[in-house]
Chain A
Amino acid sequence: MSSPESAGARERPWHELVHHALKSSRVKLVTHVPDRVLAPLIASLSADDFFTVVSPAREEEAVGICTGAWMGGTLGAVLMQTSGMGTLANALASLVVPYQIPLLMIVSERGTLGEYNLGQVMVCRTMRPILDSLGIEHHTLARADEVGFVFERAIQQAVSTQSPVAFILSPLLTGGKVFRH
């Protein structure tokens, strides 16, 4: 278990910290619909034999796959962009929450802190209200030194309480996507 002050956390890139936390939490299945910011994380998870990586066409599919895998004994995570979360209200409300699935959602936050696309800004505004309206716990990660602790503790809690959880990766953590003139 990492502590907030784990040595070296500040020097390691965020995606290495997330990779490590998923592995130490025995999250063996990773599903994703890509996002520019998530690219290095997707690449490193895909290169690690520990993980089974599936890349479906839609985020809803990823939710279904992780739900089935969980019931079959394998914990899985969905990696997506904010806009992907915007497509998930029905799957979360009619599958994940009522069936008590510890679904792990890792969301690269677009639409804030320098966003240049109004559509991304608007969908970002729906994200936390959707999660809050369903009572789904979410953590916004802004600091590298908190990644290990938040991921490991929240994953443990999700499994123990059979509840989904969302990790929102702020541009403060990842650098985000910047518009270059």
Chain B
Amino acid sequence: MPTHDPAVTRGAALVMNRFDLTRRLVSKLHREEAVVAGIGNTNFDLWAAGRRPQNFYMLGSMGLACPIALGVAIAQPGRRVFGVEGDGSILMQLGCLGTIAAAAPKNLAIVIMDNGVYQITGGQETLTARSTDLVAMARGAGIAKAAWAADEADFERRIERALAEDGPWLIGARIDAGPPAAQTERDPAQIRERFMRGLGVRG
């Protein structure tokens, strides 16, 4: 996507639904792409969207979904990797946007689910509810292919581009206060083992 991508501003982006977007993302994945989802509701909805062995569910370590996705992308340059992270979580580890820009993995895309709140801890406002624009921060960090999804169709179009063209990509999605669709089973060792098998690392 050219740097002159006619992307919308955060204010003009449609407020969508996390579970709906997660399902749309997963429905586009036909080549065993890896998906790493952050603490709380992002991984709950990824779990609810289907049990793919290429999904990694992060149950703690708030803020590390994108670094983990970067690590997978570095280890497996032939596989597309998605990191799905909440606004509160990425705000905790903003330096990783610069790390991703500097490492410049062609096969990595980040999706930020921005609801302006720490939903899972009671809906307290995050900085994005006031003044912080995470897509602008990503661009400032050096991720040129960062944009807000204008609506669902635009979100899908951007996912398709991230699957077909060189990244790194960052897609900001404004989302509503809809609850997560399910709760991930919490067995870290099993999650890790299944993921490694899904990535072909373990037989």
Q: Which residues of chain A have a CB within 8 Å of any CB of chain B?
A: 29, 52, 54-58, 60-74, 76, 90-91, 93-95, 98-101
Q: Is there contact, CB below 8 Å, between B59 and A60?
A: no
The answer for the CA separation of A52 and B98 in the assembled complex, in Å, is: 17
Q: Is there contact, CB below 8 Å, between A98 and B56?
A: no
The answer for the CA separation of A54 and B95 in the assembled complex, in Å, is: 13
Q: Which residues of chain B have a CB within 8 Å of any CB of chain A?
A: 34, 36, 56, 58-76, 79, 93, 95-96, 98-99, 102-103, 188-189, 191-192, 195-196, 199-201
Q: Is there contact, CB below 8 Å, between B67 and A64?
A: yes
Q: Is there contact, CB below 8 Å, between A71 and B93?
A: no
Q: Is there contact, CB below 8 Å, between A99 and B189?
A: yes
The answer for the CA separation of A133 and B96 in the assembled complex, in Å, is: 28
Q: Using A71-B195, A73-B199 as known contacts, say yes or no to A65 and B60 having CB atoms under 8 A apart.
A: no
Q: Is there contact, CB below 8 Å, between A73 and B192?
A: no
Q: Is there contact, CB below 8 Å, between A100 and B192?
A: yes
The answer for the CA separation of A91 and B96 in the assembled complex, in Å, is: 15
Q: Using A58-B93, A60-B93, A71-B192 as known contacts, say yes or no to A95 and B58 having CB atoms under 8 A apart.
A: yes
Closest 3 CB pairs of A and B: A68-B71, A94-B60, A57-B95
Q: Is there contact, CB below 8 Å, between B74 and A67?
A: no
Residues from chain B with Cβ under 8 Å of A60 in the complex: 61, 63-64, 67, 93
Contact of A98 among B60, B68, B95 (CB under 8 A): B60
Residues from chain B with Cβ under 8 Å of A65 in the complex: 67-68, 70-71, 74, 99
Residues from chain B with Cβ under 8 Å of A101 in the complex: 192
Residues from chain A with Cβ under 8 Å of B60 in the complex: 90, 93-95, 98
Q: Is there contact, CB below 8 Å, between B192 and A99?
A: yes
Knowing that A68-B72, A72-B76, A72-B201 are A-B contacts, what are 13 other residue pairs whose CB atoms are under 8 Å apart, sorted by A's residue number? A55-B99, A56-B96, A57-B95, A64-B66, A64-B70, A65-B68, A65-B71, A65-B99, A68-B67, A69-B75, A71-B75, A71-B199, A95-B61
